[in-house]
């Protein structure tokens, strides 16, 4: 937390640790990007050193169950570049090391942010496999891609699901088993 003096008015801002590293010495000029959070019971200012930090903060608070305080805690655990790499690579373990983040929350963060951090490629690969034919392939693969999984992850999980279920499964069954295989 920092107090920013703006023409004699002190503003208390909550900042991530990564922003703290960019701050100058006390009583020196500083520029912080801010977010003003208003709820019925609280008004709070949050400060960030870079656009990347603020944008990630805004993405995080857009996820159900993640509030501003949790978002600041998450951003304090890694630089924006490290955090993006963890999301893109699907590193659930690294996210669960952050206090207050459990397995379900880590998976939800990855699913919801991965598509925003990398462009989705929803095209179905051209290679054929015994399961990957026609409408079943498209529907099951698109369902997994819409959840934020990479195409290679989705294809591998669907292959495993096909091995377990066989030819008689529905698209929903394939997706459910594939999600358990990831």
Query: Would you place residue 156 in the very low, low, confident or very high pLDDT band (cuts 50, 70, 90)?
Result: confident
Cα separation of 96 and 85, whole Å?
A: 15
Question: Does the pLDDT at position 54 exceed 90?
Answer: yes
Q: What is the pLDDT of residues 143-153, one digit of tens each?
A: 787 777 777 77
Q: Tell me, what's the pLDDT at 126? A: 37
- Higher pLDDT pick, 168 / 113: 113
For residues 147-166, give the mean pLDDT.
79
Q: What is the CATH number of domain 2-117?
A: 1.10.150.20
Name the nearest CA neighbour of 37 among 22, 47, 50. Answer: 47
Cα separation of 162 and 173, whole Å?
A: 10
Q: What is the pLDDT of residues 79-138, one digit of tens each?
A: 888 888 888 888 888 888 888 888 888 888 988 888 788 754 333 333 334 444 445 666
Residues 122, 143 contacting (CB under 8 angstroms):
no
Q: Domain segments of the chain: what residues?
A: 2-117, 134-181
Structure tokens at 33: 């990007």
Model confidence, pTM: 0.62
How confident is the prediction for the chain on average, in pLDDT? 82
- Residues comprising the chain, all counted: 182
């Amino acid at each position: 937390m920092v107090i920013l003096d703006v023409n004699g008015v002190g503003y208390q801002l909550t900042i991530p640790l990564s922003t703290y590293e960019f701050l100058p010495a006390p009583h020196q000029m500083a520029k912080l990007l801010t977010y003003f959070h208003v709820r019925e019971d609280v008004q709070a200012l949050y400060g960030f050193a870079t656009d990347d930090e603020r944008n990630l903060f805004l993405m995080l608070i857009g996820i159900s169950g993640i509030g501003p305080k949790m978002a600041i805690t998450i951003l304090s655990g890694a630089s924006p570049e490290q955090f993006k790499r963890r999301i893109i690579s699907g590193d659930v373990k690294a996210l669960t090391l952050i206090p207050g983040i459990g397995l379900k929350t880590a998976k939800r963060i990855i699913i919801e942010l991965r598509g925003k951090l990398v462009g989705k490629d929803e095209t179905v690969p051209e290679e054929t496999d015994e399961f990957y034919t026609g409408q079943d392939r498209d529907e099951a693969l698109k369902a997994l891609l819409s959840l934020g999984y990479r195409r290679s992850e989705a294809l591998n999980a669907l292959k495993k699901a096909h091995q377990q279920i066989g030819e008689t499964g529905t698209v929903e069954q394939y997706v459910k088993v594939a999600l358990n295989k990831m």
